[in-house]
Every structure is written in C-alpha cells, then in structure tokens.
Structure 1
C-alpha cells in the first residue's frame, strides 16, 4: 500500500527502462536486467541506472530539507506535555467517579421500578382471577335462579306434569353456561372453584337431562321449533356429539335391531334385499324432521345457485342499471359471490360449504363462457337477438327438471342461439372486471376465516388464483372470435377493390384524385369498437383487437389488390400483343385516343390512393402501419403501380 502511494521522480526520456518497474510488488532484478538487455547494451543500462540513482539521491535530499523544520520543532513542541497530561488525570478521575455513582443510582432506580411493575402485574393477575371467580359465582347463581324459577309463579304457564325446561329457557341457560365454563377453565386450581364445583356439576347434569328430554319430546311430537331450539342449544355448549349419540340410541339402534334379524340373514337372498331396502328407508321416513331442521343452509345454497342458473341462459341479457358489469350473467355471478360471504348468510360452521360454493360459482361461470365460444356469431346487435322459444327459462325448478330429464328418452335438438360480436366484447369486459375484483373478494373472506381461527390463507389465495387463471384462459379465444369477426367485417368492404377495374375500363372517367368510399366503410366497425366500448374495455385490449383485425383483413386486401394489378397487367399485355398483331389498329382500346392517362393507369392510381388513405386512417386510430401485417408490402406494391401509372404523364 505504501509503495503504491510513492511518487518517484521523473527521469530523462532517454532512459532505457520505466521507473514504475521498481514499484511493482513482483519486481525481479534478473528479469529486469534480461528485459533491458533486449533493448540496450549493459554499459548503456549501467549509465542509465547511475543517472537515475543520482536523481533519486537529489530527490531524497530535497524531501528531507522540506520537512526538516518540522522535525526540529517536534521536540520543542513536546516540552511540558507530560505535565499537562498529569494535570488532566485528576479531573478525569473525578469525572469517572461521578459517572459510576450516577450509573449506580440509575441502576437502583431501574430495579425499584421493575419491582413495582412486577408487583403491579401480580396484583393485576390476582384481580383478574378474583373477577373471574366473581363471574363464576354470578353465573352459577343466575343459572340456579332460572332453574328454580321453573316452579315459581312466573312459569305457571308451563305444563305442571313435565319437568322439562322450555327451549327458550334452555338457550338462556346455555349462553350463561358457556360463560361459566370459560371462566371456570381460566380459574382452574383456585380453592374457591373447588368449593362450587359440585354446584357446577349439578347444573351440567340438569342441563344435559333437560336437553335430552326436550329432544325426545320434540321427536315424539314432531315439533320442528322444539327440535331447532334443542339442537341450537347443543351447538351453543359444544355438545353436538351428545345429540348425535342420543339420536343414535333412541332412533337408529331400535330401528336397526328391528330390521336386521339373524333369522332373516340366514334366509333367502331376496329377504336380504328387502332388509337392505328397509334400511335405506330409514333416513327419508324417520329422520325427516332432522333434515328439515338442518336443511336451512341447503335451501339458501339452492336459492343462490338457482338465481345464478336463471341468469346463465342462452340469451345474454344486459346487466341492471348501475352495475359495474355489462351482462346480467356476470352481474349475478359477482352478486352471488358477495352473498355467500355477507353477514346475513355467513355462519362459522358453514365456512367449508360457503367456500366450496364460491369455487363452484366461479367454475360454473367459466364453463358458461366456454360454452359461448361454441355459438356462431350473428351479424345482428345484442338487442336484435330474440329469445328462442323453450330455451333460457328463468325458473330454477324448471331448469332443474330439464337437467334431471336429460338423457332419458329421445331429446329434441335445441336450436343454437347465436351471439353477437358486441356481446362477446361485453363478456371480455366482464371477465376482466371479475378478475380485478377477486382480490376484493379475498379481503372479504379473510376476516370471516379469522373468526374461526383459520391460518392457512395461502391455500385460499392459491385456489382463487386457480379460478382466476381459468377465467383468464377464456380471454384469448374470445379475443380471437372478436378479431375474426372484425376482420371479416372489414374485408367484406375491402374486397370491393375488385370493382375498381369495372369503374374505369371503357368509362372515360376522370383521373382519380380521392380514395374510394369502400375504405371508410371497411373502417367503420373499427371506429365503432373504439368509440363505443372505450369505457368498458382497457385501451390495450382494444388496440390489440384493432391490430389483429387490420392485420388479417389487410393481408387479404393485399392479395386482392395484387390480383387486380396482375389482371390489369395481363389485360394491358394482351392489348399490346393484339396491337402488334394488327398493326393497322389506330389506338389501344383500353385508353383514350388522345394523350391522357389510360384506363389501366387510372385503376393503378385509384388503388394507390385507396391504400394511402387506408394507411392514414390506421395512423389516426392510434396504430402504426409497420405493425400491420402485409401493409408495408401492400404499400410497396401500389407505389410501384403508381410510378408506372405516372411515368408516362407530363
């Protein structure tokens, strides 16, 4: 490092070596001498080394003389420095003692604060334990009061012969019992809790006995309300398995013992089939009430699914006013997803079913979009497509019946309902919007899952991402359909270039100065797409469709123009050969007898004007002509034709 910072004095230019060679870390004398001998003799090397040695001595003397005064004054400046240092040692020692004393005081203060904080934390914990014990005692007294009030005047309306509590009273007890259990678990090990534990056990036994009796009474009287109150109470105190065991003991076991008899099992196989059918009849006949009580969520699910299916019909209807979607099917899909996780619908115990329904809704919409790709495209607008008879029923029951009957017997062939290009545009816009709102749905679901302690949000996010990718996979095919329809609409007008020769041949028309009207007609569908859907679609999607449609139609237009020009050239060559064969012919039939432009050149010029105007319009809609397939080749083609047409003109 020190060597690299030294600056050696510069020697004469006639030296046979480089002075920087001496400063290299890998400097070697033998290598240095052998390298210099390749250029000069040893005598010359010796002379150059002696010369540079003298320069080094001179530079060293100058360096010493430059710093000599500082070396001399160094000893003078250090006089009395030891006395000053000894004078500083005393106050520095005092300062050190003061800092250590202050540090000790601060440490004692911190220890005192920590002790007080620890005592305060201990008091707070003891206070919480006391409050929990107070709450336990209050809950026990409250439940006992409710139980004792069964025989008071307030409950004289109850049946005196029945010791069972009503469903409403049981629900009140269950709510209070939950709080009692929570505080009792938190106060585990407290002496006071051990004293009141027998009272808690009595309450538990009484509640269990009352619930069992109420459930049996509800099953005996076929009372849906009583069973609903009873099952809700079982769920509140987290004793659903006790209810299942009771139903199994009271309903299932006697029926199974009655149906499955050992003598029948040893009999004919037909008796076994009869036994099996009787077992299958148990649920619809003997568990009907339980199915009605627990089937509320299923009916809500069917309601959501039926509403969605009613919108996913063959006829694509517009979304209601104010909706962020274009089609009713998309609007109903998003509203169904929101409804699944609304506060009115959400229940913690049904989270798994709500999540499954969410994925099913997204999958159903994805299938619906894929089915649209199989329909033909109609030239009519979305409003002109009439609803065919017998299709698109909005009654969920009818739709369900049709699905059940499908496949049984000969089915009539349903007419395929066409879809308009505007409707396909709406579908793409809705797909894009739905994909953007899926993260919003995830944020709605997240707090609902946190309520039940669910932590694996990555799996939920991954499942939604899979659904989003399934929806996104439909967009390219839809875009191809839209692009194809636009391309066909454009080329249906661009192929009018075939009529240009008929307009000029033997008509004596003036030399063309403007483009043909078919160019504007060809670009009209593109302008309608750009202006009519800019509020619904992203600009990037519109530009992609315009570029794709123009590339396809321009390629066909290039082939058409090329055919027209080839036809004109062949006609012109044919006329020239005819003229040579009939040398007495006064003029060419294809053009005027004077010196004006021929009909063939007018055709070439008209096509050149059409292509130039087409390029200008492409630039106006925000595209570059060089990005359009075959347009550069088309430009070169008509440019050559134009040069040929104007070559012979003054």
Structure 2
C-alpha cells in the first residue's frame, strides 16, 4: 500500500495516530478519570511519568486546566441572568431559619430524654439478668450439693444392705451351711439360692458402682467446696467398702464360675473405672496358682540345669490351664455390646503372670548366650502369643495373601468363613482385639525380653567365623571324601567352597533364622559372598604379581597349581547355579509374607550375589593361562640357540624343524588331557582356555622370533659392510653369486620350518593356526617371499 505523501503531519510529538482534532487530548490523557471518586493524583502522575516526559505532562495538564476555566466562563455567561436574580429571590431567610429551629430543638430534647430512659431501663435489666444468672448458678451448685449428698447417702444405705446378703460370705461358711442342709434333703434348693444370692449381690454392687460413678462426676464439678470437702471422708469410706465388697463378690463368682455374678461385677468395675483391680484379682486368684505349678519361682523352688530353661512344655501346660480355668472369663469380657472391652485379662492377668514367672523361675530362657535354646524358646513364645490372640500363627499370613492365590469368589467365601471360625476359636474375637492386645505395655515388655539383636550378633560371629577359619589357609584343601558331601546336593571339591555353602545355608535354616531379623540375615548372606570373592580376588592378584608377601592370606594362590584352579572354577559355577536356583527359591518361600516390592529386592540381591561369583571366573582362567604360557615360554627361549648354530661355522640350509618345537605345547596338552579337566571343566570353558592359551603362546613366540630376526639382520648388515670394505682395500671382486645364502636366511628358514611344525601341533589340539593373528604375523616375519601370502604346513 502506497503512503500519501501529502497527508498532514501530527500537531505534536505525542499525536502519533490518525488526524487529531483541534482540541483533542492525547491518548494517554483521559480527563474522565478525574471524576472518579477514588482518583489519586499522585499515583496517576507517577504512572504517566513512566512513559511521558514531565514537561509534556505539565503542558497537557495546564492546557486541560485552561480548557476547564474557559468552559466555566462560558457557563456563567450563558446563565448570567439567573445568577444575578438569585440574590433578589433570597428574602426573609433568617426568619425562616428561626421558625424551623424551635421545633427541631424540641424534638432533640425529647429524643435525649427518651434515650436516657432507655439507658436506665437497660442498666436495670442487665443488673437483674446478672442477679438471675447468679441465682441460677447458686441453685445449680445447691442442686449439685444436694444430689451429691443424696448419692452419698444412697451409696451408704446400699452398702449397709450388703452384709445382709450371704453372697459375700466365705466359701467355708457356705459349704458348712450346704452340708447342714444336705441332711434335710434341700441341697439343690440351697445351691440354687446361693447362686441367686451371688447374682443379687453382684447386681446390687453394680448399682452402687453406677452411683459411685455419678458421685465422681458431681465431685469433679464441685471442687474446693467446703461442703464437698467435709464429705470426702464419707466418700472414701464408701469407696473402700465398695472395692472390698466387689472384690469378695468377684472372687466368689470366680470360685463358683458364676457367669451372671462375674458379668455384673465386671460391669461394676468398668463403671468405677477400676479395671486394674479386677485384672489383678483374676491374676492372683486364678492365673498365679496354675502358673506357679508350671513354673515354680518361690524361695523353695530349685533352679535346674539348662534343660530347665526350656519353655515349650511349660507353654503347653499353661495353654491347657487357660482353656480349663480362664476361657469362661475371657468369653464374658468379650461379650458384644457389654462395655467390657476395657478389660485386658489376656495381657494384664495371664501374660503378666507368665512373664513374671519366667523372669523369676527361668531367667536363663531369655539369655541369647545359648542361641539354639534361645531360638527354640523364642519360637515357642511366638506360638504362645499366637495362641492367646487366637490366630494360631497362621491368620496374618493367610489374610495378607488371600488375593494372591484365590481364583474365584467361591473360594473367597470359604476363606472368609474360615477366618470367622478362627476368630471364634481364639481368645481375641476380632482384629481390633488383637491390635489392642499387642498395644498393651506388658505385651511390649514381654517382646523386649527377647533380645534378637544380640542373638543375631552371636549367630553372625558363629557363621562368619566358620567361613573365616576355612579361608585362613596356606594351600587349597580339596575334600578328601567327596561322597560324604553329597548332602550338599552339589559336588563341591574345595573345603572352602563347602564351608561357604554351609554358611550361606545356615543363614536361612529353621534352627537359625529369626524372621524379624531376616534383613540382617540377608545382609550376612551378601557379606559372606563378598568375603569369599575378596579372598579369591586377593589371591589372584598376588599370584599375578608374583609376590607372596604383598598381602597376608594369599599364600595359597602362590603355591596353587593349575589343577587346583580347576577346582575353583568348578566350585564357582556350582555355587552360582545353586544360589540363583534352589537357594533363591528357598529364601523367597521363607519370606513369602512380605510385600511384592520387598520380594523383588530380595530376589535381585541374591541374583546379584550369585553373579558376583561368576565375575571371578576370568581371573582364575587368566591365572591358569598365565601359568601354562610361562611353562611354554621356557621351551621357546631355546630360539636363541639358532643364532649361535648358524653364526659358528658353515651350516647347510635346514631341512627339518628344531627339537624345541615339540615341547612348546607339551604343558598345555598335558594339562588338557588330564583327568581334572575332563571332570571339572565344561566343554565351553575348555575351548575358551585352549584358544586363549594358544593365542598368548603364539604371541610370545612371535615376539621372540621377530626380535631374533631383527637382531640377526642388523648384525648381518654390519658384517656385510665390513667385508665389502676389506675386499675393496684388497682389490678383490665384490660379486655375490646366487648360490650364496646368508646366515640370516638360514635362520629364517629354520624358523619357518619350526612354525610349520608348531602349526601342525596346534592342529592336533584342534586349533587352526591361520585364525590366530599373531601366527599370521609370525608367518610374515620368517616365511620366504614366495610363500608369504599363503599359510600351509
């Protein structure tokens, strides 16, 4: 689009858009904002100054002011007549003001008077309301005191009625009365009456306990009052009498196994929040006698030997007593919607007494100093706790894995029924009851008695010490009787390998493993593998360095033969296969109750540990290869004799290979033909060892031959120059005939015959010399020019 060159220019530098009118304002100046009630001049100017120069802003504002003044003048001039006549119309304004002021003042006085009256009424009303509130508060306090007095009187009256109820009589008195009535032929009726009396007394005690609970509530809301303080002694006496009577009734109900009386007594104990007394009475009167029979811990009880510290049989006897003497009370305490869930007879009565008896009668049972007996007692304890919970030690695992092996809804239904049946058989009827039982202080104290950390430390020292003792040797120790090691399910050869496998399996044996310490035993498993791997690595490094004193514990590697390293290779393969196979499955079966994430990490750790053994195979193979190569190089050193042979005297061209060639591969062949290789080395490893050894021997062969030929050629060149100089000085002819063959050529011919024989020896071992790069270089070094491109022998 073409620009119009004749368009007018803007009026000012700020008039940049369009054709402005004569009186138009810049776009950044909006006069309508001045009429905004919340207009702030300072903020408005500060905002404009960010992009408008101050002089331009001031000029525009002044222009706007002038425009406003001009507009005002125009408005005045337009309505000038009205402005002039305004003053003439304002007549008698003062009189009008006086007339209006009088009624306004009268209204103001009336309003002030009414306001004062309202304020006075409000003050009086607030005062009366305050008095009323104080009266209500006083009445409430008075009612509270009266209720307290009435409740105290009622409790005392009810307590006075207790002696009239024979239910709290001593058992001997009741028995004597019953015996007296047996002769009258009404024993059954009296027995029934005795039961009714106990039930009546228990109901009365429950009522008294309910009133005592109300009394506690009143006392809590009327603290520090003289009236209440004067009644404290009466209340305390009533409480003591209630506790005593309730204790007698509860004991009587326990002796006669009166379910109704026990139920009412427990509700009474729960009402006064005194569950501890009921738990202590049950522990002393019922639990303590049979626990004392099972685990004597009095001053007259004799402490036996180590066998006396076993708890398995004791737990079995205690279980029988619990089923016979305690189950009726446990069922009552777990009655649904009874409010008796506040009692914990399992923990605070049974478990507390058992713990006390073991601590006093068999303290050695908790000692981890004898790991085998400690573990047996610990597992027996876990089974006993599972018995108390009613889970039988199987519910938790069953419930956790229910979704992993059920295949249809019918089986789920069956499993839920089994779960409910397990709860019905157990002493804890619900999962919440089991959780509450495990949160009890005595339960936690009982668990803390079993110091599994110290137990693991002792097992660690035992297992790790066994392996360490097997590794501290100066020579490898093959097993003398391999048939006796078949129990390992592996034909391991070395005693060190057998010891490692025994230690690895010990970590997860039933008579060693504690599932709560399974993470520590997994770490011990990895540490054992690491120690064995480090033992082999240090030995291999010391052997390669050829310094027996570099690190202690590596003497065995210096003195080991290649056949000994075959044992190591065989054992490493067997160990890795076992660890990644049956051993792994055994561990995962033991830890099947763990989450899938944990099982995955355990699997990866064990697989990594097994693979760490395979990493050592190249080190051992290299040691075998290095030993065989060094033996072969001893025969290769006879190459130096070829130089002396052809430098002294005139020798004809060689026609057969040197004798040393037959001995170069003899150590390797003897090793591969040995019985150990056939027994302990797989076909793949044998081929790997053969090709690696022959390649290294051939490389060393090439280095020696190349050095020999290079020195011979340099020597021949120097001698040739000396001969030519002598012949020139003597004037003799310097021509050389074709029949003259140099000593270096003879040496190369001898070497050529030797490497052909060497290639034939390689072929007898199953190795193609042409596939070895160093042999091709050796061929290029000594072969005649017409045969360098083709390798044949």
TM-score (normalised: structure 2): 0.43
Decide whether aligned partners of structure 1 residues 222 and 596 sit closer, same or farther in structure 2, where only a CA change above 3 A counts: closer
Rounded to whole Å, the distance in 2 between the matches of 1:370 and 1:417 is 10
Q: 1:456 to 1:220 in 2, by over 3 A?
A: closer
Measured after TM superposition, the shift of residue 242 of structure 1 is 4.4
Q: Which residue of 1 aligns with 2:535?
A: 368
Deviation at 1:371, TM superposition (A): 1.4
Residues 183-222 of structure 1: CA distance to partner in whole angstroms, max 9, x if unpaired? 99xxx99x99999x99x97666542242143144248899
> 1:237 and 2:404 equivalent?
no
SS at match of 2:673: helix
The Cα of 1:447 is off from its aligned counterpart by 1.9
**Aligned equivalents of 1:541 and 1:248: distance in 2?**
54
Q: Report the counterpart of residue 329 of structure 1 in structure 2.
A: 496
Match of 2:142 in 1: none
Residue in 1 aligned with 2:524? 357
Q: State yes or no: 1:619 paired with 2:763.
A: yes
- Which digits, 9 at most, give the CA deviation of each residue in 1:270-327, with x for residues without a partner? xxxxxxxxxxxxxxxxx9xx76x98555433322111100111252322313253343
Check 1:171–1:376 CA distance in 2 against 1; reply closer, same or farther (3 A cut): same
CA–CA separation in structure 1 for the residues paired with 2:358 and 2:757: 85
Tell me the equivalent position of 1:105: none
Cα pair 1:341 1:445 within 8 Å, conserved: yes
Rounded to whole Å, the distance in 2 between the matches of 1:483 and 1:442 is 33
Structural mapping, 1:459-478, within 5 Å: 459-478=601-620
Aligned to 1:45: none
The 2-side partners of 1:521 and 1:632 are apart by 21
Q: In structure 1, how many angstroms separate the alpha carbons of the residues matched to 2:447 and 2:611? A: 46
How do residues 242-321 of structure 1 correspond to structure 2 at under 5 angstroms? 242-243=441-442, 245-246=444-445, 295-320=454-479, 321=481
In 1, Cα distance between equivalents of 2:646 and 2:713: 15
Which secondary structure does the structure 1 equivalent of 2:679 belong to? coil
- 1:582 pairs, out of 702, 724, 727, with 727
Cα offset, 1:522, TM superposition:
2.0
Q: Quick one: structure 1 residues 503 and 243, their matched pair in 2 at CA, closer, same or farther if it must change by over 3 Å?
A: farther
Give, in whole Å, the separation in 2 of the partners of 1:157 and 1:560: 86
CA contact (8 A) 1:234 1:243 kept: no
2:637 equivalent to 1:637: no
Deviations 1:120-163 (CA, angstroms, capped at 9, x unpaired): xxxxxxxxxxxxxxxxxxxxxxxx9xx989979x9699689999
Q: Which of 566, 576, 590 is the equivalent residue of 1:435?
A: 576
Give the TM-score normalised by structure 1.
0.52
Q: CA deviation at 1:496?
A: 1.9
What are the ranges of 5 or more consecutive residues in structure 2 without an aligned counterpart?
1-281, 302-307, 387-436, 486-490, 789-793
Cα distance in structure 1, aligned partners of 2:469 and 2:642? 52
Say if 2:759 and 2:769, in contact at 8 Å, map to a contact too.
yes
Matches within 5 A, 1:9-24: none
Deviation at 1:641, TM superposition (A): 6.5
User: For residues 585 and 629 of structure 1, do their structure 2 counterparts lie closer, same or farther at Cα, with a shift above 3 Å needed?
Assistant: farther
Query: Is the CA contact (8 Å cut-off) linking 1:512 and 1:605 kept in structure 2?
Result: yes
1:404 alignment partner in structure 2: none
The offset of 1:460, in angstroms, is 1.4
Higher radius of gyration, 1 or 2? 2
Change (3 A) 1:506 1:203: closer
Report the Cα distance in structure 1 between the residues aligned to 2:478 and 2:349, rounded to whole angstroms: 57
Q: Give yes or no for contact 1:551–1:628 (8 Å, CA) kept in 2.
A: yes
Alpha-carbon displacement from aligned partner over 1:503-544 (angstroms, at most 9, x marks no partner): 244456665443223223221232234233243223333333
Q: Distance in 2 between matches of 1:372 and 1:156?
A: 58
SS in 2 for 1:365: helix
Q: Using a 3 Å threshold, how does the CA distance of structure 1 residues 587 and 529 change in structure 2: closer, same or farther?
A: farther
Structure 1 residue 517 corresponds to structure 2 residue 662: no
Whether the 8 Å CA contact 2:628–2:668 is kept in 1: the answer is yes
Aligned to 2:193: none
Instruction: Give 1:416 deviation, angstroms.
Output: 9.9
Which residue of the other structure, out of 205, 209, 213, is the alignment partner of 2:356?
213
- In 1, distance between residues paired with 2:516 and 2:377? 17
In structure 1, the partner of 2:750 is 606
Question: Is the Cα contact below 8 Å between 2:540 and 2:620 reproduced in 1?
Answer: yes
Given that 1:327 and 1:430 are in contact with CA atoms closer than 8 Å, whether structure 2 keeps it comes out as yes
Determine if contact 1:493/1:521 at 8 Å carries over to the other structure.
yes
Aligned to 1:502: 644
**1:438–1:379 Cα change, 3 Å:** same
Aligned equivalents of 2:781, 2:364: Cα separation in 1? 93
Structure 1, unmatched stretches of 5+, are: 1-143, 250-286, 393-413, 645-650
Kindly report which structure 2 residues correspond to 1:59-98, keeping only aligned pairs within 5 A, or say none.
none
Contact (CA 8 Å) 1:375, 1:419: kept in 2 or not? no
In the alignment, which residue of structure 2 is the partner of 1:17?
A: none
1:518-597 matches, cutoff 5 A:
518-532=660-674, 533-570=677-714, 581-582=726-727
SS of equivalent to 1:418 = helix
Structure of higher RCO (CA pairs closer than 8 Å, 6+ residues apart): 1
Residue 420 (str. 1) matches residue 586 (str. 2): no
- Verify the 8 A CA contact 1:377 1:420 in the aligned structure 2: no
